[in-house]
Structure 1
Amino acid sequence: MDPRSEVLLRQAGLFTGDLLLAGLPADDLLAELPRAWGWSWHAGEHQHLLARFGERCSFDVQAPPAAFDSAVLFLPKSRELTDYLLQALASRLAGKPLYLVGEKRAGIERAARQLAAFGKPRKLDSARHCQLWRVDVLDAPDTPVLNDLARHFTLELSDGPLQVTSLPGVFSHGRLDLGSALLLEHLDGLPAGPLLDFGCGAGVIGAALKRRYPASPVILLDVDAFALASSRLTLAANRLEAQSIAADSIHAAPVGLAAIVSNPPFHQGVHTDYQASETLLRHAREHLATNGELRLVANSFLRYPPLIERHLGHCQTLASGQGFSLYRAAIRQ
């Protein structure tokens, strides 16, 4: 059981009515709270919950429409996303309690101050290096319009300006990160055929690929519902079309890809996590066509070249700069 869930269960007597659990972990919490519903924006966790609890858990950037007597937000990493989620929940809870739970090292005490916009926050419990806070919503705010919270910026690329839209919580919200900037400079010469942007974020790489290779189908894959929503907005802003897949690993991608292009994540919340990237490198060959290739940008200190050599063959460093390296490996018969 996740320690945040354990803290909630210490106060289980508070949750006797219809309860919404927002951002819940993929554990047994829904089994322990039979009147609870889950709202997830993490595709991997949602799949685990869906397999066990069926329609009691939704995957979306919007809260499920059903009425509830209280809600718990599991603290996300992003302050902007926390703001949006708290407002979205509080808008449905006039005169009702809203709870916030999170790890101390994730900044739960700082985040609890954000509850003051809706009433007087109270700390209810502290255990397992986590805290549980409550606010009784006095004046429900207006329901936030997610797209109104988007940040828009323009990238001046060699083939013209690219419009980018990012939503709260998306990696490198409102700006181009250094790794993606390096990757954008080295998208030439990809083989013809389906192209996958793995860990698409706001869709910068995927949109650039589709514009540069209009005859090639482009697929954007990400674990985060807010990232996929952002990527669709980015594509629409540039009048481009691509397929999107919500998944937490390369296993959900199609086979026969001409190329996998990625600036893969290695952080999950406050924890460092390389699993998605390492799974990508171990199984990329299964999804690439003969003569297909991988192009991956990463922090130079990450020891990806040995993994690439082991699973894909010769690893070429195409470029390095500002702490990042761009690697290429091609599949040969």
Structure 2
Amino acid sequence: MEPTSEVLLRQAERFQGKVLLAGLPADGLLGELPQALGWSWHAGEQKQLDARYPGRCAFGVTPPEGDFEAAVLFLPKSRELTDYLLAALASRVPNGELYLVGEKRAGVERASKQLAAFGRTGKLDSARHCQLWHTRIGEAPAAPDLHALAQRYELPLADGPLQVVTLPGVFSHGRLDRGSALLLEQLDNLPTGHVLDFGCGAGVIGATLKRRYPASRLTLLDVDAFAIESSRLTLAANGLEGDVIAGDGIDAAPRDLAAIVSNPPFHQGVHTSYQATEQLLREAARHLHAGGELRLVANSFLKYPPLIEQHLGACRTLAEADGFRIYSASRR
């Protein structure tokens, strides 16, 4: 059981009714609270929860319909996303209770000030390096408009400006990160066919690929529901088409690909994890057809070339700048 779940269960009597658990970990919490429902925006955790507790956890960018007696937000990393989630949950608990739980090092005490926008707050518990905060909702506010919170910016590319739409919580919300900027400069001479943007985020790389290679089929894949929605909005803003799918890692990707292009993720909540990228490097060959290419950007200090050469083929460095490198390898 995760420490945040353990803190909740210290106050288990508060959560025995119809409770919505938002951003809950993939542990046994739902089994301890039989009337609770979950809401997840992480495809991997959703898959685990659905396998263990079928039909008890919704996936997406908006909470499940209905009124609840209480709602609990497991603190996410993004402050902007926290604002949206608290407002969305408050709209589902008229005359009910709204809770916030999270790790101290993730800033839960600071985030309690965001909870205070909905009423007088109090700290109920502190244990396992976590805190549990609470307020009571009177008349529920209107559900927030997620799309109204989107940030939009324009990228001046060689073949014309690209419109980018990002939602709260999505990597590099409202701006282009340095790794993606370098990768955008190294998209020439890719094999044509079915192309995957792995860890698509706001869809910058995928939209650029579709415009550069219009005859190629495009799939965009991300683990996060808010990234999936951002990618859909970015494609629509540029009049482009692509298949946007949610999945946890390369195992969720199609097979027989001509190319995989990626600025791969390396954050999981407040923790740093390279597991998804390392799995991509180990398994890319299974998803590429013969001669298919993997092209990605990574921090220069990461020792990826040996892993690429072990599982895929000879690794070339196409560019290096600002602490990043662009690697390329083709399936043997």
Q: Which residue of 2 aligns with 1:16?
A: 16
Contact 1:81–1:169 (CA<8 Å) still a contact in 2? yes
Give 2:80's aligned amino acid: E
Aligned counterpart, 1:304: 304
1:32 aligns with 2:36: no
Q: Percent identity?
A: 70
Cα deviation digits, residues 52-79 of structure 1 (max 9, x gap): 1111110010000022100000000000
Please give the per-residue CA displacement for 1:85-126, whole angstroms capped at 9, x wherever unaligned. 001111222321100000011000000111111111110111
Any idea what SS the aligned residue of 2:105 has? helix
Report if the CA contact (8 A) 1:59-1:225 is conserved. yes
The residue aligned with 1:197 is 197
| C-alpha distance in structure 1 between counterparts of 2:96 and 2:254, whole Å | 45
Q: Distance in 1 between matches of 2:19 and 2:50?
A: 17
Q: What's 1:163 paired with?
A: 163
Greater CA drift, 56-65 or 302-311: 302-311
What is the alpha-carbon root mean square deviation over aligned residues?
Answer: 0.8
Q: What does 1:218-229 correspond to in 2, within 5 Å?
A: 218-229=218-229
2:10 is matched by which residue type in structure 1? R
The one-letter amino acid of 2:79's match is: R
Residue 266 in 1 paired to residue 272 in 2?
A: no
Letter in 2 for 1:205: I
Q: Provide the residue aligned with 1:235 in structure 2.
A: 235
- 1:282 is aligned to 282
Residue 248 of structure 2 is aligned to residue 248 of structure 1: yes
Matching residue of 1:79: 79
Aligned to 1:62: 62
2:209 maps to what in 1? 209
| Maintained 8 Å contact 1:282/1:307 | yes
Please tell me the residue identity of whatever aligns with 2:320: S
Contact 2:70/2:98, CA 8 A, preserved across alignment:
yes
- TM-score computed with the length of structure 1 as normaliser: 0.98
Q: What pairs with 1:35-50 in structure 2 (closer than 5 Å)? A: 35-50=35-50
Would you say the 8 A contact 1:235–1:241 is kept in 2? yes
Structure 2 length-normalised TM = 0.99
Q: Is the 1:118–1:140 Cα contact (8 Å) retained in structure 2?
A: no
2 CA distance for matches of 1:254 and 1:160?
Answer: 30
Query: How many positions carry a matched residue from both structures?
Result: 332
1:257 aligns with 2:257: yes
Task: Return the offset for 1:16.
Answer: 2.0
State the AA in 2 paired with 1:220: L
State the Cα distance separating 1:139 from its structure 2 match.
4.6
Q: 1: CA distance between counterparts of 2:303 and 2:270?
A: 21
Structure 2 distance, partners of 1:284, 1:260, is 8
Question: In the TM superposition, what whole-angstrom CA distance separates every residue of 1:112-171 from its partner, at most 9, and x where no partner exists?
Answer: 111111111110111111110001123533211000000000001111100000000000
Q: Is 1:154 matched up with 2:144? A: no
Q: Shift of the alpha carbon at 1:302?
A: 1.4
CA contact (8 A) 1:118 1:139 kept: no
Partner of residue 103, structure 1: 103
5 Å matches for 1:124-163?
A: 124-163=124-163
Alpha-carbon distance in structure 2 between the residues aligned to 1:280 and 1:221: 12
Distance 2:16 2:238 in 1: 48
Asked if structure 1 preserves the Cα contact closer than 8 Å seen for 2:290 and 2:331, the reply is yes
Structure 1 residue runs without a partner (length 5+): none
Q: Give the aligned residue type for 2:42.
A: H
Letter in 1 for 2:183: L
Amino acid at match of 1:130: C
Q: Secondary structure, in 3 states, of the residue corresponding to 2:143?
A: coil
Amino acid in the other structure paired with 1:309: E
Q: Which runs of 5+ in 2 are unaligned?
A: none
Matched position secondary structure for 1:55:
coil
The amino acid that maps onto 1:236 is A
